Amino acid sequence: SLPSSSSPSPECPQKKQKARRGRTKAKSEVVLTKQKRNRRMKANDRERNRMHNLNSALDALRSVLPTFPDDAKLTKIETLRFAHNYIWALTETLRMADHSLLSVGPQELAREPFRQPPSTACLLELTSPGSISPCEWDSLYSPVSQAGSLSPTDSLEEGRSYQAADAPACLRHSPHAFPEFV
DNA sequence: TAGGCCATCTGGTCCT
DNA sequence: AGGACCAGATGGCCTA
């Protein structure tokens, strides 16, 4: 950062000697006020830029989330929640893929203490979830009801679960997006 | 018109 | 000292 090139005083050098006595204090207060205002303006500018950067990052995040172009833009909080759940779902997908590769039987999966995983069929349908029943979607994206599970909402929500009614229209109705936040 | 979302300003606090 | 970060306040815009 620049060393805040101490902005040259607006006073011209010749007048320095004259306007001294008696008014010194008042003048310095004016200067102080000016400096204060200047610092505030600079701070506001930085804060504005900071928020713009934050919004840019949020836009970048929105752009990688699976929604339709004609869907209403996700709000900030919706974007964060959706991303959180989306990452969780992808993680589950990878985990299930690993299980499949290791040829773990369904009975083994059912016995897993962590969580009853969604059906393989459900995962295979991930790219075209329209045929998945609501309860299967629930099993994939709504693990919050299972005690001890690592819910996608655990770290983001405090006590309050994100109901379907809170979700943006695209996520509530689009068959290609996650039907619910929980 | 109320409520939600957002941008901006502002003062406080922490860090370098 | 100055910058980054944060949270509260405020006002504008939009929608049901």
- Say what the pLDDT of residue A103 is: 67
3-class DSSP state of A119 = coil
Cβ atoms within 10 A of the Cβ of A57, count? 10
Q: Which two tokens stand for residue A63?
A: 């752009």
Q: Which two tokens stand for residue A153?
A: 């909402």
Is the separation of the CB atoms in A89 and A181 below 8 Å?
no
Rounded to the nearest 5 percent, the helix, strand and coil shares of chain A are 60, 0, 40
Is there contact between A43 and strand B, defined as CB under 7 Å from any strand atom?
A: yes
Q: What pLDDT digit, counting tens, does each position of A47-95 carry?
A: 999 999 999 999 999 999 998 767 788 999 999 999 999 999 999 999 9
Is there contact between A43 and strand C, defined as CB under 7 Å from any strand atom?
A: yes
A53-A55-A61 Cα angle (round to 5): 110
Is the separation of the CB atoms in A162 and A178 below 8 Å?
no
> What's the CA A10/C1' B15 distance, rounded, in angstroms?
33
Is there contact between A7 and strand C, defined as CB under 7 Å from any strand atom?
A: no
- Say what the pLDDT of residue A49 is: 92
> What's the CA A86/C1' C14 distance, rounded, in angstroms?
29
Is there contact between A50 and strand C, defined as CB under 7 Å from any strand atom?
A: yes
- Say what the pLDDT of residue A60 is: 92
Written as one letter, the residue type at A71 is D
Distance CA A123, CA A93 (A): 7
Q: What pLDDT digit, counting tens, does each position of A95-146 carry?
A: 999 988 886 555 554 444 334 333 322 322 232 233 223 333 333 333 332 2
Positions of chain C reached by protein Cβ under 7 A: 1-7
Is there contact between A50 and strand B, defined as CB under 7 Å from any strand atom?
A: no
* Rounded mean pLDDT, A170-178: 36
Written as one letter, the residue type at A121 is A
Distance CA A133, CA A63 (A): 28
Distance CA A137, CA A180 (A): 8
- DSSP class of A161: -
